[in-house]
A = this chain, B = another copy of it.
Amino acid sequence: MEPGLDDIRAAAERIRGHVHRTPVLTCATLDEVSGARLYFKCENLQRVGAFKMRGATNAVLSLGIEEAARGVATHSSGNHAQALARAARARGIPAFIVMPTSAPAVKRRAVAGYGAEIIPCEPTLAAREAALREVVARTGAVFVPPYDDERIIAGQGTAALELIEDVPDLAWILCPVGGGGLLAGTALAAAGLAPGLRVVGAEPCGADDAARSLAAGRRLPAENPRSICDGLLTSLGERNFPIIRRLVHAIWTVSDAEVVSAMRMVFERMKLVVEPSAVAGLAAALGHAEELADSRVGIILSGGNVDLDRLPWLKSAAGQL
């Protein structure tokens, strides 16, 4: 069943003390640049460095004692893998993470550092799914998907819940959209708490399946998605799409160059480490200054897990653009 505000409130209650209530920061310079009043919900300062900790923790803590005892499993090389590993460790249950052999060593180490068992697989979706089926069959672990899941959507919605509690009278909330867990949760929270508030998903133009899906009225998968925003390459989930279609005001697309420029502004002016995917909302705000003029705009900075040796404005990393 589609989650609602009550599920988000229940998730907030459940995960309290397990995740940070992240601060909302403002920046006079970015207000000047954008012409709006921007309120940044800093999920880069969340545990494991991303909002993914909210959904994963909600999913792990929602399990009954018996099913929890068998552990949880997922396939991911990104922030969801770390989040699920850490949430499982906090509950004292096993986590099985299927990771492609192509995943960076630093990400494998992080997941292993939280005590999860890593199951390596070939870097194709088919291989990932097969390895996941195998581990679930072998261990009885519960599959916790990264976004296409009610518990995940409700958990991710707690970020917007806190933002709306902390900043009254927001006219807009902008957040990144990949699989749509954060965007669907945000839209549900806003619809329940502040019906006039407009929620916008920000998406790389090189991975614009959400924009195309909304335009077509049906889910269209991402085809050869390509963007510096490695967290936003996935296609909208089955459960996420109808929520987004019903409740989201628009999807705004951003170029990689806009993302890198916004990322550098956040490092330089806000003194925050953010990953490219995290600033899609800010990049979209800067590209839609007229629509947002003088409004109060919430922006979810979704994560901070970036390779500090390869920051995209450095010459050595320029080939990425």
Contacts and interface: CB of A to CB of B under 8 A. Distances in A.
Contacts of A315: 316
Given A308-B264, A313-B308, A271 B271 contact: no
A311 B313 contact: no
A49 interface: yes
How many protomers of this protein does the assembly include?
2
A274 B308 CA distance: 13
A270 B20 CA distance: 12
A49 B309 CA distance: 23
A308 B311 contact: yes
Interface string A287-312: 00000000000000000100011010
A28 interface: yes
Interface residues of A, number: 23
A25 B304 CA distance: 15
Contacts of A316: 314-316
A145 to B, nearest CB: 25
Contacts of A3: none
Contact of A313 (B45, B267, B309): B309
Nearest to A310: B314
Nearest to A278: B271
B47 A271 contact: no
A66 interface: no
A30 interface: no
